[in-house]
């Protein structure tokens, strides 16, 4: 079977599993991305996320993660939800955290895809990833033609927007490779102008991770610096602001993944209920959710910080 047919069958199976984008790139050292990552780390723009400094060689070369790898299959899984939190004064969580933790949902589908590849093409060596290893997933997806990396540093597709999760299958199967698409951000600066903490560089394309609301409310383990008081725009877990204002997200369509439906009662919580959140309610409400990443103490820290505005 030739590379083109192999690739076509894999993309067809990916679609069957619910992925709405699939592209393939060569597994090779990424010189340009390596230089950019090194410069970003040297400036300390990753804040306390020290793990981003680890395994640098693996981050910039997928063949180091899977010895002998020839191909990276990049996939996108939609999570866009049109439902909103009902109380406009309630603390806001990112849309991606409304339902079940995406790591579990997408990982299972990637496992099914890799099983299909092995059953179809024989003894294929590979691994699947969903934000679970030192993988530059946005860069690999860009190389695979799934979109361009916008001024807000998110991957954007001209017909799908940016509300999607990324996953990869890195394997030693030789496939037909897709190429990058053009950048269509143009002169737009909506994401830059809208970011309340000025985390996006004035020219775009560079994110000061240590100032990003997602970092402050999820990754940061200590106290949120006082200089951010009044700037979180009621965000308590993650931030969608730069995506909400992106014109390309007018093409986003509602997901059809039952496991991403909002947890029962979540969108109906009032500001008072959020502020009085107890640990038992937190445990029940966010069982199996990405919000568990902050732990109860972290979420309470964020809620208390909102009171300082």
CB atoms within 10 A of CB 178: 18
Instruction: Kindly give the residue spans of alpha helices, DSSP state H, lying in the chain.
Output: 3-16, 31-42, 56-59, 102-121, 137-143, 190-194, 213-214, 241-244, 271-275, 279-285, 295-306
Q: How far apart are CA 216 and CA 225, in angstroms?
A: 9
Q: How far apart are CA 306 and CA 303, in angstroms?
A: 5
Q: Cβ distance 169 to 117 under 8 Å? A: yes
Catalytic residue among 2, 57, 131, 193: 131
What are the CA-CA distances from residue 247 to residues 233, 252, 262 (Å)?
20, 10, 25
Angle between helices 3-16 and 102-121 (to 10 degrees): 140
Return the DSSP state at 217.
I
Q: How far apart are CA 85 and CA 263, in angstroms?
A: 12
Q: Is 131 annotated as catalytic?
A: yes
Catalytic residues: 131
């Amino acid at each position: 079977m030739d590379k083109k047919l192999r690739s076509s069958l894999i993309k067809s199976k990916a679609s069957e599993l619910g992925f709405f984008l699939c592209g393939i790139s060569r597994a090779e050292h990424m010189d340009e991305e390596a230089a950019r990552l090194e410069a970003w780390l040297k400036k300390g723009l990753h804040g306390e996320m020290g793990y981003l400094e680890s395994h640098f060689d693996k981050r910039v070369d997928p063949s180091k993660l899977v010895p002998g790898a020839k191909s990276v299959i990049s996939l996108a899984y939609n999570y866009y939800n049109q439902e909103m939190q009902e109380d406009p004064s309630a603390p806001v969580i990112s849309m991606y955290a409304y339902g079940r933790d995406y790591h579990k949902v997408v990982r299972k589908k990637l496992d099914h895809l890799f099983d299909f590849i092995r059953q179809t093409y024989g003894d294929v060596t590979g691994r699947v990833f969903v934000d679970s290893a030192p993988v530059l997933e946005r860069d690999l997806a860009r190389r695979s033609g799934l979109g361009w990396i916008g001024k807000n540093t998110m991957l954007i597709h001209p017909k799908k927007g940016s509300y999607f999760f990324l996953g990869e299958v890195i394997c030693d199967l030789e496939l037909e490779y897709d190429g990058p698409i053009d950048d269509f951000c143009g002169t737009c600066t909506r994401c830059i102008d809208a970011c309340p903490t000025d985390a996006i560089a004035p020219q775009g394309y560079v994110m000061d991770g240590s100032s990003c609301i997602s970092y402050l409310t999820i990754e940061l383990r200590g106290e949120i610096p006082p200089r951010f008081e009044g700037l979180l725009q009621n965000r308590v877990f993650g931030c969608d602001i730069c995506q909400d204002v992106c014109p390309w997200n007018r093409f986003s369509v509602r997901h059809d993944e039952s496991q991403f439906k909002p947890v029962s009662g979540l969108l109906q919580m009032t500001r008072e209920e959020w502020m009085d959140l107890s640990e038992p309610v937190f445990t029940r409400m966010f069982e199996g959710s990405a919000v568990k990443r902050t732990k109860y103490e972290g979420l309470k820290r964020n809620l208390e910080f909102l009171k300082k505005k």
